[in-house]
Amino acid sequence: MVEAGHPVPDRAGLQGAGEMISLLEQAGEGDLIIFLTSGGCSALLPAPAPPVSLKNKQQLTGLLLRSGASIHEINTVRKHISLSKGGRLAQAAWPATVINLIVSDVVGDRLDSIGSGPFVPDPSTFREAWAVLEKYRLIPKTPAAVINRLKKGLAQTVEETPKPGAPLFQRVTNLILINNRQALTAATARAKSLGFKPLLLTSQIEGEARTLAKFYGAVAREIHQSGHPVRPPVCLLAGGEPTVTLKGRGLGGRNTELALAVALEIKGLPGTVFLSAGTDGTDGPTDAAGAWADGRTCARALKKGLSPERYLAANDSYHFFQEAGGLLITGPTGTNVMDIHILLIS
């Protein structure tokens, strides 16, 4: 067992990935490989392609995580500077038979995005990876070695990632074991047993946390005013993975940021509670899984001299809920199927 770093890759991960690739390369036609791919593989399995170093990859990962890019966009770049992602492990394992068991932490269960698809054909290209850096204006900040690698890919002087239809995938079977919808379905059953009318909205939430907060606030107000789409007591459930564009220097993750933004949207609404939490028990660089807020959260905070708006502007949602109350701390859950959002209205 090799315990490695996440979300920023570390030297232990580099060592583990190297050992794994070496083992796969020894496999022959008569061998069976059983592999588990889960959320986090993109960081836990670093094998940067020359001339990219581990330090370069760490710098790039930090830039992408702070940019507001989606996980699919981030992984498009990762796959094109790696020897382990985007089908590269299938390449290393050929001609052995591979059964790849998958725990999905990606919206829509896209096989090529879960853990950056180590055993999955990669439909993305070097040109798309370059376009992601351009879109988020990261090219001037990106390490020179990464730029060099991508430019070689654009010039077709280094090999593309293995594509759909490549013969090496004929002996690979990819199976999704669990995903976000299964977690939401279980939560729906629990809500019903507690006397709420559950309504599962979607398992494919994406977008900026602050924008999503306006949606949840609008839904809560509509239920209070008209009883649509369902009358209280109601439990609305959704899942997925929002993004946050970091501008401040505070501490927090996408779940605590979403909960703080929702707190401002549901301010003053009676009998209204919102929870956003990561199913792995960790929200970004914190010990919290997420946070909950109700219609009185902002009022309680102001009594303590805390400005919700200022904490949100500083991306400091963790410290806000630490002071105002509302942090959800579960510890590691042992799985990861993205985030769950729960809106209760009684």
pLDDT digits (tens, 9 = 90+) for 204-213: 999 999 999 9
pLDDT band at 4 (very low <50, low <70, confident <90, very high): very high
- Dist CA 69 CA 207 (whole Å): 9
What residues have CB less than 8 Å from 225, skipping those under 6 apart? none
pLDDT at 284: 84
- Dist CA 266 CA 219 (whole Å): 10
What residues have CB less than 8 Å from 173, skipping those under 6 apart? 98, 99, 100
- pTM attached to this predicted model: 0.85
- Dist CA 185 CA 203 (whole Å): 10
Closest CA to 99 of 79, 82, 119: 119
Q: Is 187 exposed, middle or buried (0-12, 13-18, 19+ CB in 10 A)?
A: middle
pLDDT at 313: 97
Dig out the tokens for 233 from the structure: 């007591």
Dig out the tokens for 230 from the structure: 């369902």
**Mean of pLDDT over the chain:** 96
pLDDT at 51: 93
Dig out the tokens for 16 from the structure: 């583990």
Helix (H, G, I), strand (E, B) or coil at 197: strand
pLDDT at 6: 84
pLDDT digits (tens, 9 = 90+) for 274-294: 999 999 999 988 999 999 999
> Is residue 138 a contact partner of residue 64, using CB atoms and an 8 Å limit?
yes
- Dist CA 20 CA 285 (whole Å): 27
Name all domains of the chain by residue range, CATH numbers in brackets.
Answer: 11-178 (3.40.50.10180), 180-345 (3.40.1480.10)
Dig out the tokens for 190 from the structure: 């629990």
Give the chain's end-to-end CA distance (angstroms, integer).
47
pLDDT band at 71 (very low <50, low <70, confident <90, very high): confident
- Dist CA 192 CA 98 (whole Å): 40
CB count within 10 Å of CB 228 equals: 9
> Is residue 39 a contact partner of residue 93, using CB atoms and an 8 Å limit?
no
pLDDT at 116: 95
- Dist CA 187 CA 189 (whole Å): 5
pLDDT at 68: 84
pLDDT band at 39 (very low <50, low <70, confident <90, very high): confident
Task: Measure the CA angle with vertex 311, ends 308 and 314; round to 5°.
Answer: 150
pLDDT at 34: 98
pLDDT digits (tens, 9 = 90+) for 130-189: 999 999 999 999 999 999 999 999 999 999 999 999 999 999 999 999 999 999 999 999
Phi, psi of 265 (to 5 degrees): -75, -30
Strand order in 339-345's β-sheet?
Answer: 197-205, 234-240, 339-345, 272-278, 290-294, 327-328
pLDDT at 340: 98
pLDDT at 215: 97
Dig out the tokens for 337 from the structure: 């199927």
pLDDT average, residue stretch 221-236: 96
pLDDT average, residue stretch 11-31: 97
Dig out the tokens for 285 from the structure: 């660089």
> Is residue 154 a contact partner of residue 126, using CB atoms and an 8 Å limit?
yes
HSE at residue 121, side-chain half, CA atoms within 13 A, is: 12
> Is residue 39 a contact partner of residue 103, using CB atoms and an 8 Å limit?
yes
pLDDT digits (tens, 9 = 90+) for 83-129: 999 999 999 999 999 999 999 999 999 999 999 999 999 999 999 99
- Dist CA 36 CA 177 (whole Å): 10
pLDDT band at 237 (very low <50, low <70, confident <90, very high): very high
Q: What is the percent of the chain with per-residue pLDDT over 70, rounded to a whole number?
A: 100
Give the least confident one: 30-34, 37-41, 143-147. Answer: 37-41
pLDDT at 338: 95
pLDDT band at 70 (very low <50, low <70, confident <90, very high): confident
